[in-house]
Amino acid sequence: MANVKEFSVEEKLSSLVSLQKIDSKLDEIKILKGELPMEVRDLEDEIQGLHARQTRVEEEINGIQEFIEQKKNVIKDSQGLVKKYEKQSENVKNSREFEAINKEMELQNLEVKLAEKHIKDANEEIGDKARLLESAKKAVAAKDGVLKHKKGELEKIIGETEKEEQEFREQATTAKEKVDPRLLSSYERIRKNYRNGLAVVAIVRDACGGCFNAIPPQRQSEIRQRKKIIVCENCGRILVDEELHDQVAGNEAK
Q: Which residues bind Zn ion (CB under 5 A)?
A: 208, 210-211, 213, 232, 234-235
Q: Quick one: 105 or 201, whose CB is closer to Zn ion?
A: 201
Helix segments in 90-180, DSSP class H: 95-177
- Could you count the other beta carbons within 10 Å of the beta carbon of residue 83? 12
**Residue 156: is it exposed, middle or buried by C-beta count within 10 angstroms (0-12/13-18/19+)?**
exposed
Q: Quick one: 51 or 228, whose CB is closer to Zn ion?
A: 228
Q: Pick from 186, 156, 181, 175: which is nearest to 25 by CA?
A: 175
Q: Quick one: 20 or 108, whose CB is closer to Zn ion?
A: 20
**Could you please report the per-residue DSSP string of 157-204?**
HHHHHHHHHHHHHHHHHHHHHTS-HHHHHHHHHHHHHSTT---EEEEE
The whole-angstrom distance between residue 162's C-alpha and the CA centroid of its chain comes to: 21
Please report, as a single letter, which amino acid is at residue 78: S
State in angstroms the smallest separation of the CB of 200 from Zn ion: 11
Q: Quick one: 12 or 237, whose CB is closer to Zn ion?
A: 237
DSSP 21: H
Ramachandran angles phi, psi of 208, nearest 5°: -65, 130
CA gap 164, 162 in Å, rounded: 5
State in angstroms the smallest separation of the CB of 161 from Zn ion: 30
State in angstroms the smallest separation of the CB of 209 from Zn ion: 8
State in angstroms the smallest separation of the CB of 42 from Zn ion: 37
